[in-house]
Every structure is written in C-alpha cells, then in structure tokens.
Amino acid sequence: MNTQKNKTTPLQTQPQIMENQRLILWLFMVASILAFGGLTSAYIVRMAAGNWYKFDIPSIFTWNCVIVIASSASMIWAYRSAKNDELENVKYGLWGALLLGIAFTLLQFMGWNELNSQDIYFSPRRSDNGDLTPLISGSFFFAISAVHFVHVIAGLILLLVTLVKAYRWKVHKKNLLTISLASTYWHFVGILWIYLFLFLKYWN
C-alpha cells in the first residue's frame, strides 16, 4: 500500500508545482509594478517641488519601443508554434525574441551615452553655479530605466533557458509551462517599458 501511494504522489503534485511556478511569477510581476509605481510617484513628487531640469530624451529610446513590439510578436509566434507542435518555428520565434531583446539592451546603452553627451548622468554633476538640484531629474531617469534594464536581463536569461529546452525538444503542446512563463514575463517587460517611456517622455 505504501509503495502505491509513493508512486501516485509525483503525478498528484506535478500540477501543483506548475501552479506554484506561475504564482511565483505573478507575485514577482506584482512586486515589480509596485516598485515602479513607487519610483514614478517619487519622480512626480520631486518634479512638483520645482527646480526641475528638463532635457530631451534621445530618439533611440523610441526605437526601443518598436523593438519591444517586434520582440513580443516573435514571442507570440513561438508560443503559438509550441501549441501547434511546430517545433522548428518555436526555435525561430525564440531566437527572434532573444536577438531583439539583445538589440534592446545595446540601444539602451547607446541612449544612456547620448544622455551623457547632454551632461545628464546617473550621479548628478554640479551645474555652472554649483547647484546639484536641477540635475536630479537625470538621476531619476537613469534609475528608472536601469531598474527596468535589470528586468530585461532576467527576461533574456529566461528566453535563453527556454531556447535550450526547445533544442532538446522539451517545448511542445504537452509541455508549455516554460514557454508560457517566458512569454508572460517577456510581454510584461515590454509593456512596462512602453509605459515607462511614455511616462518619462511626457512627464519630463
């Protein structure tokens, strides 16, 4: 009797393990939303206090919005292909999402460098009259975009793990958990960037 119970336990707990993984992901995303909500709220409060330096946001960050949309589209293709057991297309879709995600990170660095060329830095530099306060706006921009950048890196790692599993034929219609988690998180990171970009552009 004990042997029979031990044999059935893994089958009974597998769905629960899957649900736990989904729950952990959703809790992380909720925590991220709250964190960015706190950052953007602090941004608004500090800007309302006055003495706020306005600067032009590089157009490179606009292109990152295009890349985000294209990457999400590629991820949708990969997920639908997995549901249809089109295993080669799963790989192509994941590669597309991954490479576009890498392009996003490269453009992010280029955008930060362009801000530096405008004398906007993460650490405020003293203005001509020795005042640090106006350049705090640049610090907020760097902080918010850098925290999002960390989320992107986590997403790229998750995509890479999913891609490796796809090459091992472990991503298909009977095993969608990994690609489902990767897809959900990747879309979340993309939507988050578009929101942050619009916020930083029109609340600057």
Please indicate whether residue 10 or residue 82 has the higher confidence score (pLDDT): 82
Report the domain count for the chain: 1
pLDDT at residue 9, rounded to an integer: 43
* Domain at 41, CATH number: 1.20.120.80
Return d(Cα 141, Cα 154) in angstroms, integer. Answer: 20
Whether residue 8 is predicted with pLDDT greater than 80 in this model: the reply is no
pLDDT tens per residue, range 117-169: 887 887 765 555 555 555 788 889 999 999 999 999 999 999 999 999 999 99
User: What is the three-class DSSP state of 55?
Assistant: coil
Return d(Cα 198, Cα 204) in angstroms, integer. Answer: 10
Whether residue 5 is predicted with pLDDT greater than 60 in this model: the reply is no
Tokens of 158: 């998750």
Total-model pTM: 0.87
* Dihedral class, residue 52 (left if φ above 0, else alpha if ψ from -120 to 50, else beta): beta
pLDDT at residue 137, rounded to an integer: 84
Question: Could you tell me which of 84, 86, 67, 83 has the C-alpha nearest to residue 155?
Answer: 67
Where in the sequence is the domain holding 74, given as residue range(s)?
2-202
Measured CA distances, 146 to 109, 118, 151, 193, 194 (Å): 10, 18, 9, 11, 14
- Please compute the mean of the pLDDT values over residues 164-180 and round it to a whole number: 94
pLDDT tens per residue, range 34-77: 999 999 999 999 888 877 888 888 999 999 999 999 999 999 99
